[in-house]
Structure 1
Amino acid sequence: MNMKKQFVVFMIIFLGLSWACSKDEDNLLPVIEPDDSGVFTDAEGREFSWVRYGNLEWMTTNLNIEASVGSEISHEGTRDPIKLETEKEQNYVTFGYLYTYEAAKEVVPEGWRIPTDNDWQELEKAMGMSANELNVSSWRGVSEGTLLQQTEGTKMNLRMGGMGEYDGYGNFSPYFSYVYGFYWTSTPEAEGSNYYYCRQISYKSGQIARVVVDKSKMLSVRCVRDAR
């Protein structure tokens, strides 16, 4: 067998094993499904799907309403205006907007809120996180981050929209899209602090991180409300 054929055979075997390992990992995940689900329609006629876990109802997509100031669509920074516009259109559908904390407060639909740190902890408990890990400020859990990305199963559909910020000239700089997802909480690190807790997921980890970030940074928002 020549080298080219050997390489092709090797790649087929490698890809087959990778697929099998991925399927095995999926099969090892617990099956967790929402208690209920529905659709919310806001005053503008926009529809948002939600799922219920315990006493909370969570939207299943990232918030995608533009704020007057402080909201942007993530992109890879291409200089080609046509490619940039196409990419932003795609990322809007996938990731919604990234928001500063103040911008996020402006556009949350009536009756909904930015989740508190405790709201996220209740969701993490529903995904199986142990009580002694909930308040840890680092990566926690085992597969909770993966479960929260499921479009089926948990139906939470968290996405890796990255993070963004404005530079000193007001230019938007996005980073980490498709690598990490960052989600606001409404809980400051301490009273009067400019740092707020957020959640972070990763493409290469099943865990979910609880960390703090300056409220001027731009993160995704997943709205929540008390169960109706």
Structure 2
Amino acid sequence: MRQPVLYISILLTALLSACSESFTDPRDGQSYDIVQIGSRTWMAENLNYEIEGSACPDGDKRNCSKYGRLYTWDMARTVCPEGWHLPDSADFEQLISAAGGTEVAGNALKSTSGWFKKGNGSDDFGFNALPAGYRLAGNNATDGKFDGIGGYAHFWSASETPDGLAYYLLLDFSTKAAKISAFGKDEARSVRCVK
């Protein structure tokens, strides 16, 4: 008889940790759902604060309201509202661990719709990761080819590699896994602020 009690306890803990609240950015009045996962509070939406050089996914202004904006690494380091910060690799490692580990965290963090080829997740924690894709580096901060919308979520990290790249959290339509990878700082990717 102890197993049903244990199951109910685990279920209640998961539900309470996924309870969503909201935060209003005083800079532009936009409201973001937030969620507690592990010991950290995360924005449950991609940041959509407009700064010079940031871009809407696929270059379409209509996509900003759904997917947020894409930022180069230099932009990403300064764009979170006061009291929030760009996560570092340790923040992402803790998030992956809280979401069940590398092999399943992608599924637990991805939204339940919007991913192509049956790549939707279970969104167990209310993180609601959407596949905004990215913009490749161009000749300057405002050009470059867009790619990956519907298939990939890339969230910048504040951490750098020894060879001058920057880490980011990668969620992919084709796998339940989540991983931390690194790429050039001039590419534009999504931002999830944390505190």
Is the TM-score greater than 0.5? yes
TM-score, length-normalised on structure 2? 0.79
Q: Deviations over 1:111-169 (max 9, x none)?
A: 1011010001111111111xxxxxxxxxxx32210110146531100111111034226
- The question of whether the paired residues in 1 share the 8 Å contact of 2:136 and 2:146 is answered with yes
CA contact (8 A) 1:179 1:203 kept: yes
Whose strand fraction is larger, Structure 1's or Structure 2's?
1
Identity of aligned residues (%): 27
By how many angstroms is 1:199 displaced?
Answer: 1.1
SS at match of 1:224: coil
Partner of 1:146: 107
Is 2:40 the counterpart of 1:67?
Answer: no
**2-side partners of 1:125 and 1:72: how far apart?**
31
C-alpha distance 196-33 of structure 1, shift in aligned 2 (>3 A): farther
Unpaired segments ≥5 residues, structure 2? 1-9, 113-122
Q: CA deviation at 1:46?
A: 2.4
Name the CA distance, whole Å, in 2 between partners of 1:163 and 1:175. 6
Where 1:145 maps in the other structure, the secondary structure is helix
Q: TM-score if structure 1 supplies the norm length?
A: 0.68
Shift in Å, 1:51: 0.6
Quote the Cα distance in structure 1 between the aligned partners of 2:189 and 2:42: 17
Contact 1:188/1:195, CA 8 A, preserved across alignment: yes
What is residue 116 of structure 2 aligned with on the other side? none
Matching residue of 2:77: 105
5+ unaligned residues in a row in structure 1: which ranges?
Answer: 1-29, 78-86, 130-140
Q: How does 1:76-115 map to 2 (within 5 A)?
A: 87-89=60-62, 91-115=63-87
Give the equivalent residue in structure 1 for 2:160.
188
Counterpart in 2 of 1:18?
none
Larger radius of gyration: 1
* 1: CA distance, partners of 2:156 / 2:15: 23
